Amino acid sequence: MLTVYGLKNCDTCRKALRWLDDHGIAHRFHDLRADGIALADIRRFAKAAGWETLLNKAGTTWRGLPKGKTAQVGEAEALKLMAEHPALIKRPVFEHGKGDVVVGFRDPQKAALQALAEAGSR
């Protein structure tokens, strides 16, 4: 089954959930704020997709952090920040099983999700 990690108030996450429903792709939603997220999960996502891909630098949470925390951030600091501030995780994150991870929701990610769904139905 596909797990969708995101925020319930995120427009992109809502669009992704509707798209999954419309395409008959079974999924469950994990709210990063309400349900929390373990550092081990963030590490797993980062290993699969790259920590730079996973870190959301475009949002208000990133802009609200002190410059000392954001200047020249490396992987270890980024993972710790994402654990402390789940809104720093780029959304949505899709995980199929415990290894296939897709981050974001544009056409390439949609194609990857369809491929995962097709592979899982075989």
Q: DSSP letter for 36, please.
A: -
More confident call, 120 vs 91: 91
For residues 42-51, give the mean pLDDT.
96
**Residue listed under structure tokens 């925020």:** 7
Catalytic, 13? Answer no
Q: Which of 7, 10, 37, 55 is catalytic?
A: 10
d(CA 110, CA 55): 20
Q: Output the pLDDT for position 107.
A: 97
86: preceding bond cis by omega (within 30 degrees): no
Q: Are 101 and 48 in contact (CB under 8 A)?
A: yes
**Residue 93 forms beta bridges with which residues?**
5, 103
Question: Does the predicted model carry a pTM greater than 0.85?
Answer: yes
Q: What are the tens digits of pLDDT across the range 59-94?
A: 999 999 998 888 889 999 999 999 999 999 999 999
